[in-house]
Amino acid sequence: FQNKRQTDLWLGVDAHGLNIYERDNRLEAKISFPWCEIKTVSFKDKKILELCVGNRELYMRRRRTDSMEIQQMKTHAREEKARRQLDRTRLAREKQLKEEAMREKQELERKLLALQEEMRNAHEALMRSEESADLLAEKARIAEEEAVLLRRKSAEVDAEIQRIKISAMKSDEERMLMECRAREAEMMAATLLEDSGRRVEYMEKSKHLHQQLQDLKTEIEVLKVEENQTELDRLHEESVTRGDTKYSTLRRIRSTSGKARVAFFEEL
């Protein structure tokens, strides 16, 4: 908007009042009018007034005490919430008791099954004792069959031992061949180790040159950031250097009377 001198300015509206900013500096207000002093400002259009009045109305509405009807509604809502919480607690308790009863029932059923299993085992043991004679005869027959099987296995083991002895003779020749190949590998490793030493020296030089290149790129990026700095960035840095804050600026620009601030606004 513009003042009487046709100066282009910025208007800022917040919960505390109206703030006037210069065209090139929207960070620090030049003049501030609290809501109680709005009558000292003249205007031609009602849009700004309606905006200010609406902002003030919202500001006061948030701090206004609730009516009796709203308080009763809030009280009823709290009571309803407490009642629902009690219902949930009661249902949770009933569910817990039901689960405990179910677990006790399952435990009793498990014990009953265990007793039935013990009775069945005892009955089977009695039946086995009556059949012990037949079992002894069967065990004797099985033992004879196992003896025959062991003799057969013994013969197979002897044959395997002979085969292993023959294989051992062949393994000695293979071992000598492997030792010869190992010596050749050691000679080749020594040659590769010498070549790797030269590669390490080259890598260290390359790493040093890479670090110098990274430092140069960092300096170039810093210069680019300084060149792209806007006017608002410069004003912000100056304000931070002076130690100004949002609240100290408001106190400074509101320290004079309302008429003096209006006159200063018209002279911008």
CB count, 10 Å around CB of 62? 8
Q: What is d(CA 233, CA 236) in angstroms, rounded to the nearest whole number? A: 5
pLDDT tens for the chain, residues 1 to 268: 777 888 888 888 887 888 889 888 888 888 888 877 776 666 666 677 677 778 778 878 777 777 788 888 889 999 999 999 999 999 999 999 999 989 999 999 899 998 888 888 888 887 777 777 677 777 777 877 777 787 777 677 677 767 766 765 666 666 666 666 666 666 766 666 665 556 556 566 666 666 766 666 666 555 555 555 566 667 766 776 777 766 677 677 667 776 777 676 667 6
Do 24 and 35 meet the contact criterion of CB atoms below 8 Å apart? no
Do 250 and 32 meet the contact criterion of CB atoms below 8 Å apart? yes
Closest alpha carbon to 41 in 95, 87, 1: 1
* Residue 235 in tokens: 């004003």
* Residue 103 in tokens: 């677990």
Element (H or E) spanning 151, and its range? helix 132-227
Element (H or E) spanning 99, and its range? helix 68-130
